[in-house]
Amino acid sequence: MRCGISTPIVTLAGRRPEWEHAAGLPEVSTVARTADRLGFEFLTCPDHVAVPPGLARGERFYDPLATFSYLAALTERIRFLPYVLVLPFYHPLELAKRYGTLDLLSGGRLTLGLGIGNLREEFDLLGVPFGDRGPRADDALRALRASLSGGVVSYHGPYYDFADLVIDPHAVQERVPLWIGGHSERALRRAITLADGWAPAPVQFRGPDATRLKDMLTRAEAPSGFDVVMSPQRPLDPMTEPEATCEAVHAAAEAGATVLNLSVRHRSLDHYLEQLTAFAELPAS
């Protein structure tokens, strides 16, 4: 199974190990170089502008564009996955230009993770309407697809309308992969009709949640080549529990995953890097 990593340090949410609180760019760079060398598919970075103090999902959120632009110069093959951009915060032409430039500078290593967002306080702070964010995001996805990889672009929709505009530079990939975040049937339908993959919330790979996801995928009749990106609800431990880690990867595949977004138990930077190495050496990886 293809596997990327849920990058530590760039977000602090939940019970993160203490070392991450004091870590910064040198440690992120070391993680990126190591993941690149070991053959992992992507790095992640979240997207929040400003959040209320004490938010359960965390307070630290590195900016994905700035972070990935720096890491692109330090790595050779690993891809960059904003996980996920809150699509209603941005005009699609803004995303096409900014992330298209990142795709160019990285040599075509962009995968865009996109979602509609659910933190109303942040929408209100930025002056972005919250109630119609779903249909507005759908229109933005169509406009983004029309403009992300093109030179002279046009699009006509209910929310976004433009014609014969030049975007230069733009993405060098002919079709930048778009993965849609969200756990609902609506998010899956949006992913199948408007994108290339689906990234539901973290789940246990065996049990009712995994069964529900598998049933949703079966009913939705996802097309060939459609990516399903699953994240473990609890970090894996490939060093001390290699068999359980292999079983978890197999269980994710049985639930319909084609891509794993890996998180591992760790107590220090060195331990984290050792866990990545141990996972990369597993037969299931």
Return per-residue pLDDT of the chain as tens, 285 residues.
899 999 999 998 778 899 999 999 999 999 999 999 999 999 999 999 888 898 888 899 999 999 999 999 999 999 999 999 999 999 999 999 999 999 999 999 999 999 999 999 999 999 999 999 999 999 999 999 999 998 899 999 999 999 999 999 999 999 999 999 999 999 999 999 999 999 999 999 999 999 999 999 999 988 999 999 999 999 999 999 999 999 999 999 999 999 999 999 999 999 999 999 999 999 855
Yes or no: say if 13 and 57 are a contact pair by the CB < 8 Å rule.
yes
Q: What is the pLDDT of residue 51?
A: 86
How far is 181 from 48, CA to CA, in rounded Å?
A: 14
How far is 230 from 252, CA to CA, in rounded Å?
A: 7
Q: Name which of 130, 140, 154 is nearest 190 in CA terms.
A: 140
Strand-strand pairing, 161-166 and 152-156: antiparallel
- Provide the 8-state DSSP code for 224: T
| Residue 114 token pair | 């996109």
Q: Name which of 100, 116, 108, 102 is nearest 71 in CA terms.
A: 102
Yes or no: say if 75 and 36 are a contact pair by the CB < 8 Å rule.
yes
**How does DSSP assign 127-174, residue by residue?**
T--STTHHHHHHHHHHHHHHHTT-SEEEEE-SS-EEEEEE--S--SSS
Q: What is the pLDDT of residue 187?
A: 96
Element (H, E) at 38: helix 25-38
Q: Strand runs (DSSP E) across 46-145, as ranges?
A: 60-61, 79-82, 85-86, 112-115
Q: Which residue has the tokens 């794993």?
A: 260
Burial of 201 (0-12, 13-18, 19+ CB in 10 A): middle
Q: What is the pLDDT of residue 285?
A: 53
How far is 93 from 91, CA to CA, in rounded Å?
A: 5
- CA terminus-to-terminus distance, the chain: 6
Q: Name which of 248, 256, 251 is nearest 229 in CA terms.
A: 256
Complete domains list, the chain, with CATH = 2-281 (3.20.20.30)
Q: What is the pLDDT of residue 105?
A: 98
Q: What is the pLDDT of residue 15?
A: 81
